[in-house]
Chains A and B, each alone.
Chain A
Amino acid sequence: QKEVEQDPGPLSVPEGAIVSLNCTYSNSAFQYFMWYRQYSRKGPELLMYTYSSGNKEDGRFTAQVDKSSKYISLFIRDSQPSDSATYLCAMSATDAGGTSYGKLTFGQGTILTVHP
């Protein structure tokens, strides 16, 4: 079983829809939770970054972390064709001293298409 599970989709929605992307994980040591966006044939770029449980909002994007359920979500409001990309969740743990070394564990990515 993979440490991080993500539905690969593909997911196709009309412009203006609310998109919900999700990941589940099994490693309770994960403390940092990230969402990266990857356009076709490009490198991933960081979209959202949260520590521990809670919500974080940035414009049309909201990231949620529920550590008790080992479940994270990314919501995209008023989706645009320019949001069409692969969305990757990523997580990392800390050592006993609380240091994170950026050893990210990624989900397999969800392919999103927003059509006009």
Chain B
Amino acid sequence: NAGVTQTPKFQVLKTGQSMTLQCAQDMNHNSMYWYRQDPGMGLRLIYYSASEGTTDKGEVPNGYNVSRLNKREFSLRLESAAPSQTSVYFCASSEHSPNEQFFGPGTRLTVL
């Protein structure tokens, strides 16, 4: 099992460009999450999906949209990137206990 995979690993964008971060899990988990990690801030929840077909906002949803494409995949879209969105983005999934989350390797995004 690959666990949680994220693509791309690295990305550089210019202000105003759009992009989609992809996340997939092969553990048949129901719940999936998107976090961002910034120095001195820990991880902050952007959006989550408790089950296929549902999505909800987390702590810092502004500037992002998500799509739960199917049970395996949960994508994060930046419509018009801003330098404040420079961060490391982590996707996670969970099954029986929503607090036991399995994280992907992260996507390092720089917005110039």
Contacts and interface: CB of A to CB of B under 8 A. Distances in A.
Interface of A: 4, 6, 8, 32, 34, 41-46, 49, 88, 90, 92, 100-109
A4 to B, nearest CB: 8
16 contacts: A32-B99, A34-B99, A42-B106, A45-B102, A46-B100, A46-B102, A90-B99, A101-B50, A102-B33, A102-B50, A102-B101, A103-B59, A104-B33, A104-B43, A104-B45, A105-B45
Contacts of B8: none
A22 B41 CA distance: 16
Among B40, B43, B101, B105, find the residue whose CB has the most chain A CB atoms closer than 10 A.
B43
A46 B48 contact: no
Among B92, B97, B99, B105, find the residue whose CB has the most chain A CB atoms closer than 10 A.
B99
Contacts of A41: 106
A51 B48 CA distance: 22
